[in-house]
Amino acid sequence: MARSKRRNSHPDTSKRAKVRVSSPAEKTYSLADASKAFDIIVEQIDAATVDGLSFIEEFKALPSKKALPDYYEIIENPISLHEIRKHVIKNGSLEQLEDDFNQLVTNAQSYNAPGSELYRAAEEISKIVENVLHHSNSAPPTPNAIKGIIDELVSTTEPRKKRILSALFMDIPDKNDYPEYYEIVKTPMAFNSILKKASKYTSWEEFENDVMLIFENAKLFNEESSQVYKDAVTLESKFRNLLENAKASSSSPSATPQPAVKLKLNVKQPKAAPKPGPIIRFKNPKKNSVAAEDEAEDDSEKEENDEEDEDLEEDDDADESKESENADDDDNENDTAGEDHENDAEDSVKEDEDERMRSPSAELPDTKLRPEGENATDALIRQVTIASTPSLLFNAHGRIFTANSFRLQFSASDKYTEQTQILSLPTHLQNMVFTPSLRGSLYSRPFNLFVSHNYRRLSPIVVPGNSDDFVAEDLLQSTYELKLTPGLNLIDCTLSVMPEKADEASKPEKQERFVFWVNFPGAVS
């Protein structure tokens, strides 16, 4: 199947390139097996590229007879992903699925010239089918193996400063909060997303593709000179080593469960990371479903297919539920190992006395909702202001005063104790001032206000004209200066209110937080 008109002038269908995908042993496969394999193959084809371009659209449906009449003269058995999907629904055979993809590859390589984009695309499809239907000798990854690898990655710190490198890659940004991010990153991915579907991975390749997507997105969205880009490169290198070791352990006949595989995930560290950014493929991925092509089918066939699809989903849900239960049992068996790992991580943090690098987000409460009956008037952080550095100006009477060319103010939410905002600033706004306004009653309470820029804690500055921290409306204010770096900047403002009789072991009584993602293109030289 292909649509390119670049082909051999004298195709010899008797010598067409056969792409081998070894036949499975004689075995009866269920409909769920073929359906799941088809979904995985299509998903990986959707993620694949040739010269940085996606090619799945060329294989979704058969070419038009009017546009390419010679195609049907050369290709005896036309087939597309649409036809393969129908065969899966009706027959449910892995053997049939394999034969269909063999035919798809053969057709594309028979019609298109060797070296052409679609010829090479067919080669990629062949590799994907081989990997999905016939894995390497290594066993599929277990949920514990995946959690162990992710745990190692999210625990990675900068050697000297103990800065956690994974902080920006833990969660996928909300599309409503970060619309500009989604204009660039078409397929977001994050470590927590991978952890949620740890029991669903059927191959190491599938797991590897998702993790690599995190780093690709980070490198696509950020400047090469930015810290985020460099962190992605470092984590990618470590991931490749961890993955290679995990594969070797799973494929060894005499191998016993390794600590990295059985390690319980330290949940505290993923939560310690502020909401962040993921990654991207070097293409514009399309939807990985061929279901849209079914619109050409008549209503009776469509209803029949829908009923069979529902049966497939029910079977898959049952299997996934069992896998999840097994994963939970494995986690419980390894509580001791998990506790040891958590203690090691806590000791490492205690050894770091540089307060600038310690993020308070590790202590954030599990919920971001305000307690019932409270609203913005009960907020501890009443508002936050981001503005350009004040400039000295003269009025008509020759008096000096200060002014901000840029100023944004964000007020507390009635519903949430944590807010996240995304901004994109022009090149001339590199030097900024950040001013949180706190509830005045906090003056008589022990509290900790943590303001950081890209994980470096900031110190408040003295603002001319303000001799006292208290300002109008009984607000407690402090101002911080920062200089934006090219790429994505993270500004974190977290307030922790301690109990009135607090000691070193006390936990925060209340916490509120404002997080800002600021995209800065870089100053013009």
Residue 251: pLDDT band (50, 70, 90) is low
Is this prediction's pTM over 0.95?
Answer: no
Composition of the chain by helix, strand, coil, percent to 5: 45, 15, 40
Q: Are 13-133 and 143-296+313-351 equal in CATH topology?
A: yes
Sequence length of the chain is 525
pLDDT (mean) for 119-139: 80
Check if the beta carbon of residue 342 is closer than 8 Å to that of residue 270.
no
**64 or 361, higher pLDDT:** 64
Residue 294 exposed, middle or buried by CB count within 10 Å (0-12, 13-18, 19+): middle
Sign of CA dihedral 289, 293, 298, 301: negative
pLDDT at 123: 93
pLDDT tens track for 177-210:
778 889 899 899 999 999 998 888 888 888 999 9
More confident residue, 354 or 53: 53
**How much is the mean pLDDT over the chain?**
72
Percent of the chain with pLDDT over 90: 26
Measuring CA to CA, which residue among 239, 228, 241, 11 is closest to residue 116?
A: 11
- The number of beta carbons lying within 10 Å of the beta carbon of residue 267 is 12
Identify the H or E element spanning 394: strand 391-394
Residue 216: pLDDT band (50, 70, 90) is very high
The pLDDT score that the predictor gives to residue 242 is 92
Side chain identity at residue 154, one-letter code: V
The pLDDT score that the predictor gives to residue 286 is: 39
Range scoring the smallest mean pLDDT among 56-65, 174-183, 263-272, 457-466: 263-272
Given a cut of 50, whether residue 334 has pLDDT beyond it is: no
Helices marked H in 173-203: 179-184, 191-196
* Dihedral angle over CA of 346, 347, 352, 357, nearest 10: -10
Average pLDDT, stretch 222-250? 87
Return the structure tokens found at 22.
């070894």
- CA 210/CA 239 separation, integer angstroms: 12
Q: What whole-number distance in Å separates Cα of residue 96 and Cα of residue 481?
A: 65
Q: Is residue 337 pLDDT above 50, yes or no? A: no
pLDDT over 70, % of the chain = 62
pLDDT score recorded for residue 73:
92
Rounded to the nearest angstrom, the gap between the alpha carbon of residue 83 and the centroid of all alpha carbons in its chain is 32
pLDDT at 280 > cutoff 50: no
Structure confidence at residue 2 (pLDDT): 46
Does residue 81 have a pLDDT over 90? yes
How far lies 62's CA from each of 37, 121, 131, 381, 503, in Å?
A: 22, 16, 25, 59, 71
Decide: 308 and 31 in contact? Cβ < 8 Å: yes
pLDDT band at 40 (very low <50, low <70, confident <90, very high): confident
End-to-end CA distance of the chain: 51
Residues 387 and 481: beta-carbon distance below 8 Å: no
Who wins on pLDDT, 6 or 247? 247
Quickly list DSSP for 304-350.
Answer: HHHHHHHHHHHHHHHHHHHHHHHHHHHHHHTHHHHHHHHHHHHHHHH
Per-residue confidence band for 426, with pLDDT thresholds at 50, 70 and 90? confident
Average pLDDT over residues 140-164: 84
- In 3D space, the residue among 369, 348, 368, 367 whose CA is nearest the CA of residue 357 turns out to be 348
Beta strand 418-424 with 407-411 is unpaired
Tokens of 91: 């027959």
CB atoms within 10 A of CB 447: 19
- So what's the pLDDT on residue 344? 47
Q: What is the chain's alpha carbon radius of gyration, rounded to the nearest angstrom?
A: 28
Helical H segments across 159-298, by residue range: 179-184, 191-196, 204-221, 227-251, 259-262, 268-272
Which homologous superfamily is 13-133 in? Bromodomain-like (1.20.920.10)
Q: What are the sequence ranges of the domains in the chain? A: 13-133, 143-296+313-351, 365-520
Q: Find which of 159-168, 272-281, 408-417 is predicted with most confidence, using mean pLDDT.
A: 408-417
pLDDT for res 265: 35
Please give the pLDDT value at position 363: 39
Q: Which two tokens stand for residue 384?
A: 């936050």
pLDDT class for 101, splitting at 50, 70, 90?
very high
Reading the block at residue 374, the tokens are 């409270």
Higher pLDDT, residue 89 or 21: 89
Supply the pLDDT for residue 476: 85
Tell me, what's the pLDDT at 397?
A: 55
Lowest mean pLDDT among 32-36, 305-309, 418-422: 305-309
CATH of 143-296+313-351, one of 2.40.50.140, 1.10.760.10, 1.20.920.10, 3.30.465.10: 1.20.920.10
Quick check: 308 pLDDT over 60? no
